[in-house]
Chains A and B, each alone.
Chain A
Amino acid sequence: MSYEISRNIIKNELVEKIEELSGQNVFDCYQCGTCSAGCPVVEYMDIMPNQVMRLAQFGATEDLINSETIWICSACLQCSTRCPKGIEVAKVMEALRSINLRKRIGTLDPNKIEAEELQDLPPIALVGAFRKLTG
């Protein structure tokens, strides 16, 4: 992967949006990798949590918003509790999901859940998934 780094890209509006929605300063991150080391689903992500933070610092917001990672994160808060800089990485993930969801982009279409599957799924799974993944 290669990125152009320039003042224009770094000062992009979406970074500000991410910071506003998450309440986190993405420039606090010093890339120790603790968040990625503890993430239980990191092996399925295309961009690891610490890379999410780094790309946000570079202003590479398109890559983040279109990443698979944000839809794999299960909001378990492991990264947030362990970050030595006190950054709530889970909130950054949530901000990135929300930017998509508010444009009605999500990964779960309730109509597409198979009837057989629907029968077994508890409300707690359905409500949780609709709130986090349905645009």
Chain B
Amino acid sequence: MNLPYYPGCTLKANAENFEDSAIKVMEILDYQLIEMKDWVCCGTVFSMTTDDLMLQLASIRNLLRAEEQNLNELVVLCSMCYNTLQRAKQFITEDEENLNKVNDLMYKENIRYQGTVDIIHLLTVLKDRITFDKIKEKVKKPLSSLKIGGYYGCLLVRPQEFAIDDFEDPSIIEDLFSSLGAESIAFPYRLECCGAYQTITKKDVTIKRTYEIINSARRAGCEAIVTSCPLCAFNLDQRQKETAEEFIEFEKMPVFYFTELMSVALGGGWDKKWSKLHYVDPQPILKEKGLL
């Protein structure tokens, strides 16, 4: 079955391993992720001011493109794209005046934006459409004895109306990894922000966040963390370099996109080129568990 999807820019750069592994995993599950045409960056962060419609255009233009291409839905992988597209759509379509104004701003477009395209996160597709029971049947290499902490961060669960699961106590990532044979651990800081884009102007803040989040996972017994956000991945993985310099007793932990480990479990294997996009080498733990 074909599923139209919106990749977003980071999946074409620093997070190629995310896109690559997602496509591979979905193929194993008999779904083709088909990249929509003519997309642009969604703008990454939702603008929360009531009056500035220009800041919503990046997201809305993507949704308009999807309507033009007769798509009913868009699957999204990146948590931030997911969040921003959802909220922009809601903000513009729930108010007729906003909707009209935005369409007037985009007067050169061939059609008027209506808001007919649904935005779905890949995790939701896995849970509701494919189901974890089906995924379990397809496991070739169970992630046995691998202790995984699912990191949700902010945007998969907040705001509440777009949470992909219970916003205070989600279990979708834990349930997915249990079905892959791993030991899922719901560690305390899994819903705590990593500092997001502050990683540029307030690097010290994000380093401390990384320190606290990884330590929280370590204390709960996790051996690796999984995420679905390239910014979480950047802060939690790449920033471990600075974290280790700052805190001498800090022990590094590998950070994966959930789809990378799904690929390993479902027989898609580990692609060596994914390793280069990680800071903490993911291979030792995979070797130790006999998964490589």
B141 at the interface (CB under 8 A from A): no
- A78 and B193 within 8 A (CB): yes
Q: Separation in Å of the B163 CB from the closest CB of chain A?
A: 9
Cross-chain pair count, CB within 8 angstroms: 128
Contact status of A122 and B197, CB under 8 A, knowing A21-B49, A127-B44? no
Q: Separation in Å of the A26 CB from the closest CB of chain B?
A: 14
Task: Tell me which residues across on chain A come within 8 A of B284, comparing CB atoms.
Answer: none
User: Which of A71, A74, A113, A129 counts the most B-chain CB atoms under 10 A from its CB?
Assistant: A74
- A129 and B201 within 8 A (CB): yes
B221 at the interface (CB under 8 A from A): no
- B154 and A76 within 8 A (CB): yes
Within 8 A of B (CB), among A97-115: 98, 107-108, 113
- B45 and A122 within 8 A (CB): no
Interface size class of B (residues with CB under 8 A): 35 or more
B80 at the interface (CB under 8 A from A): yes
Q: Separation in Å of the A87 CB from the closest CB of chain B?
A: 13
- Decide if the interface of chain B is mainly helix, strand, loop or mixed: loop
Q: Separation in Å of the A121 CB from the closest CB of chain B?
A: 7
- In the assembled complex, the Cα of A21 lies from the Cα of B52 at a distance in Å of 9
Task: Tell me which residues across on chain A come within 8 A of B48, comparing CB atoms.
Answer: 22, 75, 88, 90-91, 94-95
- In the assembled complex, the Cα of A58 lies from the Cα of B47 at a distance in Å of 26
Within 8 A of A (CB), among B158-181: 158-160, 167
Task: Tell me which residues across on chain B come within 8 A of A127, comparing CB atoms.
Answer: 9, 41, 43-45
Contact status of A124 and B158, CB under 8 A, knowing A44-B202, A113-B200, A129-B197? no
- In the assembled complex, the Cα of A80 lies from the Cα of B195 at a distance in Å of 16
Q: Separation in Å of the B279 CB from the closest CB of chain A?
A: 9
B248 at the interface (CB under 8 A from A): no
- Decide if the interface of chain A is mainly helix, strand, loop or mixed: helix
- A81 and B44 within 8 A (CB): no
- B80 and A80 within 8 A (CB): no
B55 at the interface (CB under 8 A from A): yes
Task: Tell me which residues across on chain B come within 8 A of A20, comparing CB atoms.
Answer: 50-51
A15 at the interface (CB under 8 A from B): no
- A22 and B50 within 8 A (CB): yes
- In the assembled complex, the Cα of A40 lies from the Cα of B193 at a distance in Å of 7
Closest residue of A by beta carbon distance from B159: A77
User: Which of B9, B48, B201 counts the most A-chain CB atoms under 10 A from its CB?
Assistant: B48
Q: Mark B135-158, 1 if CB is under 8 A from A, else 0.
A: 000000000000000000010001
Task: Tell me which residues across on chain B come within 8 A of A21, comparing CB atoms.
Answer: 49-51
B205 at the interface (CB under 8 A from A): yes
Contact status of A120 and B158, CB under 8 A, knowing A76-B196, A125-B231, A128-B197? no
- B158 and A41 within 8 A (CB): no
A133 at the interface (CB under 8 A from B): yes
Q: Mark A123-135, 1 if CB is under 8 A from B, else 0.
A: 1111111011100
Q: Separation in Å of the A74 CB from the closest CB of chain B?
A: 4
B: residues with CB less than 8 A from A are 8-10, 13-15, 41, 43-45, 47-52, 55, 78, 80, 154, 158-160, 167, 192-193, 195-202, 205, 209, 229-231, 234, 238
Can you list 21 residue pairs at the A/B interface with Cβ under 8 Å? A21-B49, A22-B50, A40-B209, A72-B198, A74-B193, A76-B193, A77-B158, A78-B158, A80-B159, A81-B167, A117-B200, A122-B10, A122-B14, A123-B10, A124-B9, A124-B14, A124-B229, A128-B45, A128-B80, A131-B45, A131-B55
